[in-house]
A and B are shown apart, each in its own frame.
Chain A
Amino acid sequence: MLKNRIIPCLDVKNGRVVKGINFVELKDAGDPVEQAKIYSDGGADEICFLDITASNENRETIIDIVRNTAKECFVPLTVGGGVRTIQNITDLLLAGADKVSINTAVVKNVDFVKEASKKFGSQCIVVAIDAKKVSENKWEVFTHGGRNKTGIDAVDFAKKVEENGAGEILLTSMDKDGTKSGYDVDLLKAITNSTNIPVIASGGVGTLDHLYDGIVKGGASAVLAASIFHYGEYKIKDAKEYLNSKNVSVRL
């Protein structure tokens, strides 16, 4: 039976982890490679890096981080943030990323998914959708961390990226992100019910119960979380044992 995945996400800025894990054993709380290794040793099913570096000059650093992480972590590694061109994808994959997550570039031009999945295979193309609720059961795609409205309906957009060859959707609720009040389960349901590719839930996790809701109520194939793991509130193992105790199948 296919297991539900738990994916810790590390925000990286100028080569440093922004919200680091508060582990005593950690030598350097800002080192993404060391943190990724802790997650992978702790049973993470995948690791996700989100590069939030603003300037182009420092973007090279993520390549080095990916290269060094891939030499030590033997679980899938997804990298997103600022991926705009085929060359960006090539660079990340060559450095050792297994999947690349693309966002704004797809909103601007949906053919980019087609081009990327044709060139590299759907298995490594994740489309990140940032959505905000605009009315009852209606969500709109936003870009630039929720600042820019696009006028595109999130459900229609999800179907479109699937048709164009996306392998997975990483769905973030901009209303919930950072609130620790749980995923937007209605949004998740709307997207998982209208697409046939795996959906990774993101944005809003504050408790282990929220992970359960994302999978069981929202229909997500994987759950992504940042702060509950970063600040050491829970370990990956805690999350898995909790889900397992509630009959959600995970890799233990």
Chain B
Amino acid sequence: MNVTIVDYQSGNISSVINSFTEVAKGEVNLEVTSDIKKIKFSDKIVLPGQGSFKSCVDSLNQIKGLVDTLKEFAITNKKPLLGICVGLQMFADIGYEEAETKGLGWISGKVSKIDNQKGKFKLPHIGWNEIEIQKESKIFKDIKNKSHMYFVHSYEFIPEDKSVISAITNYSSKIVCSVERDNLFGTQFHPEKSDKIGLKVIDNFLKL
């Protein structure tokens, strides 16, 4: 199996590479690239994302043909893709971090700043929080409800169609922390930094 971690020169993806390498243990052929040909012929794709919504979208758009290739892979052909953090947020139609920015538009909805109730809650939302599983999800196989995952973000994805939400977490409000539709997966938390339980999420994705 060929799994590609999309390296589009935005943010730090070392931890994503390390954790997938650890879980794959040589059984999966892992590529870290932005080469469109390689992405096309992958079996699965990981779309990481760090920094702002705008900087990530801008970086994706800078690589010619990448957005179309990803769309064909995940939406047209419905092959498995996992977005992590801003990688998930970019599924939305629009994001408001830094400046109003058009997203990939794969799942209708917007990405806006977490309402921290006028400073009552600190932002970024950093640390370990419990996930409340909302529906059966392939990537949460053998993962207990209320497991702890590691978060670091100030913006949240609000999808229009609530049926895509596979887990939420409770902070200043209920925050969407993972989505699933067909073979499209996204986590707001960082499985690569969430200890053994996070590695299990990665394992589930690799075993799809």
Contact = CB atoms under 8 A, between A and B. Distances in A.
A124 B127 contact: no
B133 to A, nearest CB: 16
Looking at B12, B116, B170, the one whose CB has the most chain A CB atoms below 10 A away is B12
B69 interface: no
B129 A120 contact: no
Secondary structure of the A side of the interface? Answer: loop
Interface stretch (A69-77, A107-115, A206-214, A231-239): A69-77
A197 interface: yes
Contact of B126 (A40, A71, A196, A221): A221
B52 A121 contact: yes
- Range for the number of chain B residues in contact with chain A: 35 or more
B124 A74 contact: no
A98 B127 CA distance: 13
B125 interface: yes
A251 interface: yes
A190 to B, nearest CB: 16
Given A2-B128, A123-B152, A196-B116, A70 B50 contact: no
Contact of B14 (A40, A95, A123): A95
Interface string A61-92: 00000000011001110000000000000000
A75 B195 contact: yes
Interface string A133-158: 00000000000000000000000000
Interface string B94-130: 0000000000000000000000100100111111111
Nearest to B150: A76
A163 B152 CA distance: 18
Interface string B184-196: 0000000011111
B192 A168 contact: no
B22 A74 contact: yes
Contacts of B148: 3, 251
Contacts of B170: 1
Which A-B residue pairs are the 9 nearest by beta carbons?
A121-B51, A93-B12, A251-B128, A96-B14, A123-B152, A3-B128, A251-B148, A2-B129, A198-B122
19 contacts: A2-B128, A40-B195, A45-B127, A70-B15, A70-B18, A71-B21, A71-B22, A74-B15, A76-B152, A120-B11, A121-B51, A121-B55, A122-B154, A123-B153, A124-B50, A168-B124, A168-B126, A198-B122, A251-B128
Interface of B: 11-12, 14-15, 18-19, 21-22, 50-52, 55, 116, 119, 122-130, 148, 150-154, 170-171, 192-196, 198-199
